[in-house]
């Protein structure tokens, strides 16, 4: 097991000792492992995100075609369409500007 040396403040050591006592842990090392595992749990459980579709879209707009600039709305629409196709999301009707006005 790798070893890590850690310099701590007196307040940190008091908190660490409180964690050892409060959780009934065998050592400060065990308390540090416990605290890090608890803190890291949400990050370890989070699904990994796949950005390959976006990378493909960005790559498509690089090179000679990138010289002629397209309106940002066109690019956003294209990305939305690609993502909906990839996720198989049903196409939504566009929102009308006058909707809800009388």
Smallest CA-to-CA distance from 32 within 2, 66, 58 is with 2
pLDDT at 17 over 70: yes
Name the token pair of 91: 């196409």
C-alpha to C-alpha distance for 7 and 23, rounded to whole angstroms: 23
Name the 3-class secondary structure at 102. coil
Whole-structure pTM value: 0.45
Task: State residue 27's pLDDT score.
Answer: 95
pLDDT at 60 over 70: no
**Do 83 and 53 meet the contact criterion of CB atoms below 8 Å apart?**
yes
Mean pLDDT of 77-92: 75
**Number of other residues whose CB lies within 10 A of the CB of residue 31:** 20
């Amino acid at each position: 097991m790798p070893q890590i040396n850690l310099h701590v403040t007196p307040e940190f050591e008091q908190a660490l000792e409180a964690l050892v006592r409060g959780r009934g842990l065998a050592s400060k090392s065990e308390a540090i492992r416990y605290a890090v595992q608890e803190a890291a749990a949400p990050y370890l459980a989070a699904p990994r995100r796949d950005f390959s579709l976006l990378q493909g879209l960005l790559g498509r707009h690089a090179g000679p075609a990138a010289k002629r600039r397209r309106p940002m709305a066109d690019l956003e629409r294209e990305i939305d369409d690609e993502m909906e196709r990839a996720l198989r999301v049903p196409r939504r009707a566009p929102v009308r500007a006058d909707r809800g006005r009388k």
